[in-house]
A and B are shown apart, each in its own frame.
Chain A
């Protein structure tokens, strides 16, 4: 299949990869990757958008092309994704991929996972009609506006969507006969979820966490310790902890299981995490059908590295009438350099084993992102989301620290729900979205976590 386009890496000096000009083969970092894509779009249409992907106006055709272009076997999402890792890790990744495909087909695994998700995590989480939030926006627009539904991932065990994935992968680790698990965490939610899943299955657990994050989130560290995990400090923040944990994995291949927390990293990690989080979207579709006999008009989710967004988006990617809206962290503002809006302000490069958008300075050094929502502070983003951005399937915006804190307060006051500061970014975007939506349109917003952990931050946040 001839590729419709060829592409260049723009990773910058730090990564030292050559430019790729041959459309079908790329020799990158010593590994051969065959990049192919098939498409149902008429090959004579070669009009490209600014990213070099086909500019398709019809939503239906765009969706069809998107679905076709994802290549599960090589972990490529268009030009994004892949396995940019040291040769030593390749066999481990391939083994993981084999096991992953096995468990997907295994009814025993599915039953164990479904029971655990139901009895341990508390699924399915409700799709809750936010009456007062809806009324709030309608009142600003002469009684007309969208109906707002909240997908309550904050009600999951330990208060975030992270548990869905940690549980499934812990079961996989057990199957592979591995008794030790390692993971990296930023804000701590993934670390806590992994520690809990390991406690439940009797696996030993080591969590890598940046010292800067440990200082910002001491309660997360306490929780991990309580759950029996060992927390290994790394100088720096999440990006450094991730690098460290991948290094540790490389040293201890065959002894430890690396539990990826979000949809980044080398294939098959992004696909695995997305697959296990997509239970969110599947439930949402069913609940929407029950409640109003249709699909949502828009699905809104915050985007840190992208696992909760993909979890709810994935199910709806092939529905052309469903708008997928991601909201990133604008921190102090997109032009201040102190933000974490990777899709908005980043460039394409390879980071942590995958090609994706990332935040880098002129010298190609990874910048330190900032957000009041610590879970948003990742300088990269899921390759699959990069793909959805460039194909125009997903819209992305951002919300500042101040807007997020304001949204936290608003949702608390109107609905008695404290959304995590990360999720508050999605709620903040409603301010701009609702006035543009027709009366009675259905918006589903993902409340990816609960915000008790952020009360102190909001308490100390200077009110303008």
Chain B
């Protein structure tokens, strides 16, 4: 859950000014009137004690600097994503206990130093197949580059009676080793950890997908791996637990709280705080404190870069629309990132509406959420009137997250990206439809994006090029789907 703000010692004098805060901003307020709000009334820290001691003081002092970028509002190429404080507009940041600040700073400088290191650089090396660490591994171990596949029968399905309709392409991240995009980031972070001399990797996992990806990569590089998993989740996903153990990871059950993902996350963070010198924490998505949202995005942006090149090869142009499912937001940022500055490319994210937006059982953070701090970053999140995190629901575990990456919150607020949502039922229908029409079984997460095509395609002019990120394969979801679909 939210980082426990009361983790460290008594508040210092300089931070006491943070306690007299302006009223919290609501999500609908315009950017120009936004001020940094540590959202005391709407914050998610539990218990609601003095918050100031744990919040980065540089933010408080430099608050004015954040609002000064409003003059660069319209041109995406000029946006700081993120700025030097790790902020995307007002979102993002580093809301963590003081003990973690050094680790985050160290991580950021390590990442910046490798970003431009030709031996480490990813995408260019994928293309030219030059022998170098990340590129070689992504190519030979993960199986990149993944194809951009013209989905002929799906395109036919959406063709209107007069023969017009969009052309649908699938970016096949499901073909990666371990069957999802997650490994792009896991590989990048483990290589970074090795460069930092860390021998120990920790991560948390809900259903087990991120845990398996992390364990896989640790096996490949011979690093000690500890995965925190809620005891309840361990019972429900015993096969994934076994898989992680087979891969050499230690899976530690967390029994506190509700014994699910949010408690596993707290435990993982506690471990990191304790073992920060020897340990690297692999965060699975573009959420969390800076530099994680930026780093994870950078490791995934190879998806969009390949797409650009493949689109040029296939039809000599750019995609018109990019569609991706949004849980934490990593696969979407991976596809979108290279195209954010192309204003003629529409970016569409699809979240989980679960049992329906009115049911209260969903995970549609950007549609129904409000701004607050969760897991170290300011972003949209699902919270009740007391600022408590609402337990989200989606049939797909990967979208079952009450927050969202801060960069998505930023893109939504700027109007650069559009966000919609789709129910469990619609996602299941899409799961079956694409299996039957293309022989590709998409992950239930991806099925949310595929379901949105039903609403999107009728509105599109003839020959619009739609690229949808097929972020994972659905073998893991077959049992669930069969139960509901009664196939």
Contact = CB atoms under 8 A, between A and B. Distances in A.
Partners in one complex: yes
B217 A157 contact: no
A147 B141 CA distance: 16
Q: In which size bucket is the chain B interface? A: 35 or more
A455 B439 contact: no
Contact of B141 (A120, A128, A223): A128
Nearest to A199: B439
Contacts of B177: 152, 154-155, 417
B146 interface: yes
Given A119-B149, A222-B478, A132 B436 contact: no
Interface string B105-124: 00000000000000000000
B143 A199 contact: no
A122 B439 contact: no
B219 A415 contact: yes
Interface in B204-218: 215-218
A157 B175 contact: yes
For B140, B218, B222, B481, which residue has the most chain A Cβ atoms within 10 angstroms? Answer: B140
Interface in B382-433: 432
A458 B242 CA distance: 10
A118 B147 contact: yes
Contact of B440 (A196, A198, A459): A196
A459 B242 contact: yes
Interface in A116-171: 118-120, 122, 125-129, 132, 152, 154-155, 157, 159
B222 A132 contact: yes
A418 B246 contact: yes
A290 B440 CA distance: 32
A154 B246 CA distance: 18
A202 B153 contact: yes
B48 to A, nearest CB: 43
By secondary structure, the A interface counts as: helix
B140 A126 contact: yes
Nearest to B214: A416
Contact of A226 (B148, B150, B247, B482): B482
Contacts of B175: 122, 155, 157
A456 interface: yes
Interface string B260-290: 0000000000000000000000000000000
Contacts of B6: none
Nearest to A415: B220
Contact of A119 (B141, B148, B215, B475): B148
Contacts of A412: 219, 246-248
A199 B147 contact: no
Nearest to A228: B436
B246 A452 contact: no
B487 interface: yes
B140 A128 contact: yes
A126 B139 contact: yes
B70 interface: no
A223 B147 contact: no
A72 B269 CA distance: 65
Contact of A227 (B150, B219, B239, B435): B435
A219 interface: yes
A125 B141 CA distance: 10
Contacts of B216: 416-417
Interface string A185-218: 0000000000111111010000000000000000
B131 to A, nearest CB: 9
Contacts of A225: 482, 487
Contacts of B242: 455, 459
Contact of A416 (B147, B219, B435, B439): B219
B185 to A, nearest CB: 15
B441 A122 contact: no
Given A226-B481, A228-B435, A415-B219, A455 B141 contact: no
B440 A157 contact: yes
Interface in B130-151: 139-141, 143, 146-150
B436 A227 contact: yes
A455 B243 contact: yes
Contacts of B432: 226
Contacts of B478: 219, 222-223, 226
Contacts of B58: none
Contacts of B147: 118-120, 122
A409 interface: yes
Contacts of B172: 119, 122
B438 interface: yes
Contact of B441 (A125, A227, A414, A455): A227
A452 B244 CA distance: 12
B60 to A, nearest CB: 44
A122 B437 contact: no
A416 B147 CA distance: 23
Contact of A199 (B148, B246, B437, B479): B437
Interface string B34-56: 00000000000000000000000
A155 B246 CA distance: 19
A409 B245 CA distance: 10
A196 B432 CA distance: 13
B436 A452 contact: no
Given A122-B143, A125-B143, A416-B215, 17 more contacts: A122-B172, A159-B475, A195-B439, A199-B439, A200-B153, A222-B479, A223-B478, A225-B487, A226-B441, A226-B482, A290-B129, A412-B248, A413-B246, A413-B247, A416-B219, A452-B243, A455-B242
16 contacts: A122-B143, A122-B147, A122-B172, A128-B141, A155-B143, A155-B177, A202-B153, A222-B479, A222-B482, A223-B441, A225-B487, A226-B481, A417-B177, A418-B243, A452-B179, A455-B239
A-B interface, 6 closest residue pairs, ranked by CB to CB distance from nearest: A196-B439, A199-B439, A416-B219, A416-B216, A122-B175, A416-B220
Interface of A: 118-120, 122, 125-129, 132, 152, 154-155, 157, 159, 195-200, 202, 219, 222-223, 225-228, 290, 409, 412-418, 452, 455-456, 458-459
Interface of B: 129, 139-141, 143, 146-150, 153, 172, 175-177, 179, 215-220, 222, 239, 242-243, 246-248, 432, 435-441, 475, 478-479, 481-482, 487
